């Protein structure tokens, strides 16, 4: 398989010119800036004047479901950017410990508690899969621990085991967020011009179709990049004739790599 890859290494050195049109609907009215990686994930890399107000509301909604849902405790723990300074973010976390057959609930300050972020493991993109129907198929989760390790808490309290409260996963919104990151980066770097016709995932991004799982899936690769918080890589898959982007959030923590199919190569 012939694959050509272009990888971003340092987001702090990226800057992009004003686009002057909405990357989702093409409108040139009421344009706002688009964060390529959400501001709440510690990124200041923007594409100026590149999303209209209506599309910003649509994409901002599914981002907020993820960022103020399952990712909120991790954002607070890592002190990632927040326009509200995390004023209403969770400051404590409840866990259940089991000792000598007895169950006890304790509440710990967030920084003293293991914060588990459950990354969904999706099936490979359903593109050209005759069995794919709609939505996205989640085949498992990959728990990534931030903060103290669970075994440290077990030892500290002399417990036999502990259970940490889960937060909802929101697989559709998470997949849309991954797709939005990949797509906006491809537009910003002009790589999107390498596809023939319209980007394949636009309808799913704007909630006009329920087929995000056709364009987003989890890669079989599993790598860690110690010097990168987030990682993006553009891939020209000549064999399949597709432009693909790899998106890996918290790449320094051995998190899953997601593939986003953008379109057919010219």
Rg, C-alpha atoms of the chain: 20
What is the average pLDDT across 234-251? 94
Q: How many domains in the chain?
A: 1
Distance CA 48, CA 87 (A): 28
What is the average pLDDT across 31-37? 93
Q: Helix/strand/coil (H, E, C) string of 33-98?
A: EEECCCHHHCCCCEEEEEEEHHHHHHHHHHHHHHHCCCCHHHHHHCCCCCCCCCCCCCCEEEEEEE
pLDDT of 7: 55
DSSP line for 174-217 = HHHHHHHHHHHHHHHTTGGGGBSSS-TTHHHHTTSSS-GGGTEE
> Given a cut of 70, is residue 47 above it in pLDDT?
yes
pLDDT of 1: 42
What DSSP state is assigned to residue 99? E
> Given a cut of 70, is residue 9 above it in pLDDT?
no
Higher pLDDT, 132 or 43: 132
Range of the domain at 200: 3-264
Distance CA 230, CA 37 (A): 9
pLDDT digits (tens, 9 = 90+) for 149-208: 999 999 988 999 888 877 778 999 999 999 999 999 999 999 999 999 999 999 999 999
pLDDT digits (tens, 9 = 90+) for 212-242: 999 999 999 889 999 888 999 999 999 999 9
pLDDT of 70: 87
Distance CA 99, CA 102 (A): 5
């Amino acid at each position: 398989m012939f694959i050509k890859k272009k990888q971003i290494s340092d987001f702090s050195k990226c800057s992009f010119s004003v686009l002057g049109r909405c990357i989702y609907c093409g409108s040139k009215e009421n344009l706002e800036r688009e964060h390529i990686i959400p501001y709440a994930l510690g990124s200041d890399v923007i594409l100026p004047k590149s999303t209209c107000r209506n599309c910003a509301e649509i994409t901002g909604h599914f981002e907020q479901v993820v960022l103020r849902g399952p990712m909120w405790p991790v954002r607070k723990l890592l002190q990632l950017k927040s326009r509200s300074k995390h004023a209403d973010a969770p400051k404590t976390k409840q866990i259940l410990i089991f000792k000598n057959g007895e169950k006890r609930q304790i509440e710990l300050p967030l920084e003293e508690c293991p914060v588990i972020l459950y990354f969904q493991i999706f099936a490979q993109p359903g593109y050209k899969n005759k069995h794919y129907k709609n939505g996205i198929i989640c085949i498992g989760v990959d728990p990534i621990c931030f903060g103290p390790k669970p075994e440290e808490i077990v030892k500290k309290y002399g417990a036999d085991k502990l259970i940490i409260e889960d937060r909802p996963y929101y697989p559709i919104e998470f997949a849309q967020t991954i797709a939005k990151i990949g797509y906006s980066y491809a537009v910003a770097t002009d790589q999107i011009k390498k596809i023939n016709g319209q980007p394949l995932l636009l309808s799913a991004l704007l909630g006009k179709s329920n087929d995000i799982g056709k364009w987003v899936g989890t890669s079989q690769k599993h790598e860690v990049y110690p010097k990168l918080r987030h990682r993006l890589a553009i891939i020209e898959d000549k064999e399949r004739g597709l432009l693909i982007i790899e998106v890996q959030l918290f790449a320094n923590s051995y998190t899953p790599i997601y593939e986003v199919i953008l379109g057919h190569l010219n």
